[in-house]
C-alpha cells in the first residue's frame, strides 16, 4: 500500500465528472488499498478517487457510525438518494465541513440528514445501506467529488466569497498542486 499525494482545488480532475468503474480486478483493489492508506495518513473521514488524481467513481470512508454500517468501507459506482435538504442557513457551529482538497479550511454547509447509498464494494458485490447525521454528510461530500463538485461549490454566497478569497490567498486554483499526507504538515492540525 502507498500513500498518495492529495490534489488541491484547481486540479482539473477535481472539477469534472469521474467515469464509471467497469472492471473489478486486482488493479482496482490496489487503488482502494492505497486510498485507505492515504485517507488514514491524512486523518480523513473520506477520500474520493479524484482527490488522488484518478477520475473514477469510487470513494472510501472511515467513520464510526450508529447506522449498522462498517466503520470503514469503499463504495464503487455509487448512487445516492437523499432526504430533503433544509432551506435554512447552515449553522456555523453545527454544519461545518472541511475537505482534504481544500486543505485547512472549514465552512458551514447545509446537507441532507439521511441518505441511501447503493453501489458496489471492491469485489463487485452489491451494497445498499442507509446513513444519517454526520455519516450521511460524509457520504454526500465524497459522492459530490465524483461529479466534480467540491463542498465550496455548494456554499451560500457569504461563505463562498470567503472560500474563494482564501483559495486566492493560498495560490490555489491552478493545476499541479498537491500535498502529501504523512510528510507535509497536517493542514487540519490532527
List the domains of the chain with CATH numbers. 6-179 (3.90.45.10)
Look up 142 and say whether it is catalytic.
yes
Residue list, annotated binding site: 99, 141, 145
- The model's confidence at residue 58, banded by pLDDT at 50, 70 and 90, is very high
Residue list, annotated binding site for Fe cation: 99, 141, 145
**Residue 66, class by beta-carbon neighbours within 10 Å (0-12 exposed, 13-18 middle, 19+ buried)?**
exposed
Does the model's pTM come out above 0.95? Answer: yes
Q: 177 and 94 in contact (C-beta within 8 Å)?
A: no
pLDDT score at 77 = 98
| Active-site residue, from 11, 97, 105, 142 | 142
Nearest to 47 by CA among 80, 87, 92, 3: 3
**What does the pLDDT look like over 181-190, one tens digit per residue?**
999 999 998 8
Strands 178-179 and 102-108: unpaired
Amino acid at each position: 500500500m502507498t500513500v498518495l499525494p492529495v490534489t488541491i482545488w484547481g486540479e482539473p480532475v477535481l472539477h469534472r465528472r469521474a467515469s464509471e468503474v467497469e472492471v473489478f480486478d486486482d488493479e482496482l483493489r490496489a487503488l482502494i488499498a492505497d486510498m485507505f492508506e492515504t485517507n488514514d495518513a491524512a486523518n480523513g473521514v473520506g477520500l474520493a478517487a479524484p482527490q488522488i488524481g484518478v477520475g473514477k467513481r469510487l470513494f472510501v470512508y472511515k467513520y464510526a457510525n450508529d447506522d449498522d454500517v462498517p466503520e470503514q468501507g469503499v463504495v464503487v459506482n455509487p448512487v445516492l438518494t437523499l432526504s430533503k435538504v433544509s432551506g435554512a442557513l447552515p449553522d456555523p457551529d453545527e454544519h461545518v465541513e472541511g475537505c482534504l482538497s481544500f486543505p485547512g479550511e472549514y465552512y458551514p454547509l447545509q446537507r441532507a440528514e439521511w441518505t441511501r447509498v447503493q453501489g458496489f464494494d471492491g469485489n463487485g458485490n452489491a451494497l445498499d445501506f442507509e446513513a444519517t447525521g454526520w455519516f450521511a454528510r460524509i457520504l454526500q461530500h465524497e459522492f459530490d467529488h465524483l461529479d466534480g463538485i467540491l463542498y465550496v461549490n455548494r456554499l451560500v454566497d457569504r461563505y463562498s466569497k470567503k472560500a474563494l478569497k482564501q483559495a486566492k490567498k493560498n495560490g490555489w486554483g491552478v493545476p499541479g498542486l498537491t500535498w502529501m499526507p504523512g510528510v507535509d504538515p497536517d493542514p487540519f492540525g490532527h
